[in-house]
C-alpha cells in the first residue's frame, strides 16, 4: 500500500467519507522519502534497535505509522480524529505491533502509556506534528521527563530554527533555552511545502532532540529557572534587570550587584544570557 500516492489517499478518503479538518493541522505527507528517514533517525545510535519502541503523535492515514511499525518493536500512536479510525484499520492491518489511541495528546497521560502499553521500554518519539500545538507538545514531552531517548519531529521551518537556536543568539526565544535544558537539538533536514497534501503556506523541517540530563537543579530551582527565562523574554527588548526585578522582588541595584557577582553584564537583555547564566541566577535567588 503506497500511502504517499495522492490517488490512493483520495480513494481511501472517498470510500470512508473522510475530509480534512484544517484546524487540526492535517497536512499529510506525500513525499515518499520523508517518513523512512524520520523513522530511521529515531533508532540512530541505539545499542539494540530491535528493543526500541516508538510513540507517534498524529497518525493521519498512517504513512509514518507504517514505517515505524516496520522498524520498531512496538508502536503506540495518539490521534485525535476518530474519523481516521476506519482508514487506519485498513492501512495498519498488516501490522500486529501497532496500537492507536484516539485521544487528544495534550490530555493523554503519556508516561502511563509508555509504562502500560510499551512496558516501560526505551522509546523514541517520532511525529509530523500538528503545527498549532508544536511547542506545547514538545514541552509536554520534555517537561514530564518521559523515559524517551529522542524526539524526531517535523515542524514548520521557522519553529525548527527557533527550537534549535543556541541560547545567547539572536534567533533564540524562551523555548530555545527550555529545549536546550532537556535535550541536544539538531536540524536534520528541510522539507518543502509541496511534500504535503494539502500544501501548507510554509516549508518545514525535521529536527531531532536527543534527551540529555546534564543539570541537577532541585524542583524549586527548575521552576525558578523557567520563571526567570519567561519573565526575561516577555520583555526581550528591555534590559533583563527590569522584568527580573518584578519576578524576583529585588531592586535594580540589588540585581545589578548580583549580575556583576555572577559575571553577567548588568545591562544585558534576555537573549544575551547563556543557559548556564540563567541556571546560576536560579541557584542564587531563592
Ligand atoms: N503523520 C501523518 C502524516 O505525516 O501524514 C499526519 C500528520 S498531520 C501534520 C497531524 C496529525 O495530528 C493529524 O492526523 C491530526 O488529526 C493529528 N492531531 C491534531 N491535533 C491533535 C491532538 N491534539 N492530539 C492528537 N493528534 C492530533
Give the model confidence (pLDDT) of 251-271 as tens digits.
989 999 999 999 999 999 999
Indicate if ligand 1 lies below 6 Å from the C-beta of 60. yes
pLDDT digits (tens, 9 = 90+) for 135-145: 999 999 998 88
Domain ranges of the chain: 6-211, 219-284
For ligand 1, atom 18, name the residue with the nearest CA: 58
Asked whether the domain spanning 219-284 has the same topology as the one spanning 6-211, the reply is no
DSSP 54: E
**pTM of structure:** 0.94
Q: Taking the chain, what is the end-to-end CA distance rounded to the nearest angstrom?
A: 58
Indicate if ligand 1 lies below 6 Å from the C-beta of 29. yes
pLDDT digits (tens, 9 = 90+) for 170-209: 889 999 999 999 999 999 999 999 999 999 999 999 999 9
Cβ neighbours of residue 252 closer than 8 Å, sequence gap 6 or more: 241, 242, 245
- Across the range 223-247, mean pLDDT stands at 91
pLDDT for res 236: 87
**Residue of 29, 35, 36, 80 best suited for mutating to test ligand 1, as the one with most atoms within 8 Å of CB:** 80
Residue 39 predicted with pLDDT over 90: yes
Q: Which of 227, 206, 119 is nearest to 161 (CA)?
A: 206
Residue 214 predicted with pLDDT over 80: no
| Contact assessment for residue 39 and residue 206, using Cβ atoms and an 8 Å cutoff | no
Indicate if ligand 1 lies below 6 Å from the C-beta of 25. yes
Residue 220 backbone phi and psi in degrees, to 5: -65, -40
Which CATH code of 3.40.50.150, 3.40.30.10, 3.40.50.620, 1.10.10.10 fits the domain covering 6-211? 3.40.50.150
**Residue of 35, 58, 153, 198 best suited for mutating to test ligand 1, as the one with most atoms within 8 Å of CB:** 58
pLDDT for res 285: 84
- What is the Cα Rg of the chain in Å? 21
Closest atom, ligand 1, to C-alpha of 127:
1
How far apart are the CA of 145 and the centre of ligand 1, in A? 22
CATH topology of domain 219-284: Helicase, Ruva Protein; domain 3 (1.10.8)
Amino acid at each position: 500500500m503506497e500511502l504517499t500516492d495522492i490517488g490512493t489517499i483520495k480513494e481511501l478518503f472517498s470510500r470512508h467519507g473522510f475530509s480534512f479538518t484544517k484546524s487540526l493541522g492535517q497536512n499529510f505527507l506525500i513525499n515518499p522519502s520523508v517518513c523512512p528517514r524520520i523513522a530511521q533517525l529515531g533508532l540512530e545510535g541505539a545499542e539494540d534497535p530491535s528493543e526500541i519502541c516508538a510513540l507517534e503523535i498524529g497518525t493521519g492515514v498512517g504513512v509514518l505509522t507504517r514505517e515505524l511499525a516496520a522498524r520498531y518493536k512496538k508502536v503506540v500512536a495518539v490521534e485525535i480524529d476518530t474519523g481516521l479510525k476506519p482508514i487506519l484499520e485498513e492501512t495498519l492491518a498488516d501490522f500486529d505491533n501497532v496500537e492507536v489511541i484516539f485521544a487528544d495528546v495534550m490530555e493523554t497521560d503519556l508516561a502511563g502509556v509508555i509504562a502500560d502499553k510499551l512496558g516501560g521500554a526505551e522509546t523514541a518519539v517520532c511525529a509530523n506534528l500538528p503545527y498549532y500545538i508544536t511547542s506545547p507538545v514538545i514541552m509536554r514531552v520534555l517537561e514530564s521527563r518521559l523515559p524517551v531517548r529522542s524526539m524526531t519531529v517535523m515542524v514548520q521551518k521557522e519553529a525548527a530554527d527557533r527550537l534549535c537556536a543556541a541560547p545567547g543568539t539572536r534567533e533564540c526565544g524562551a523555548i530555545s533555552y527550555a529545549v536546550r535544558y532537556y535535550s541536544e537539538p539538531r536540524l536534520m533536514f528541510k522539507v518543502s511545502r509541496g511534500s504535503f497534501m494539502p500544501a501548507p503556506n510554509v516549508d518545514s523541517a525535521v529536527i531531532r532532540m536527543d534527551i540529555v540530563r546534564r543539570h541537577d537543579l532541585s524542583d524549586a530551582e527548575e521552576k525558578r529557572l523557567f520563571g526567570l527565562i519567561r519573565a526575561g523574554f516577555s520583555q526581550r527588548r528591555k534590559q533583563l534587570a527590569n522584568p527580573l526585578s518584578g519576578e524576583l522582588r529585588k531592586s535594580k541595584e540589588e540585581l545589578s550587584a548580583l549580575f556583576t557577582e555572577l559575571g553577567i553584564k548588568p545591562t544585558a537583555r534576555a537573549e544575551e544570557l547563556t543557559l548556564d547564566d540563567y541556571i546560576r541566577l536560579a541557584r542564587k535567588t531563592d
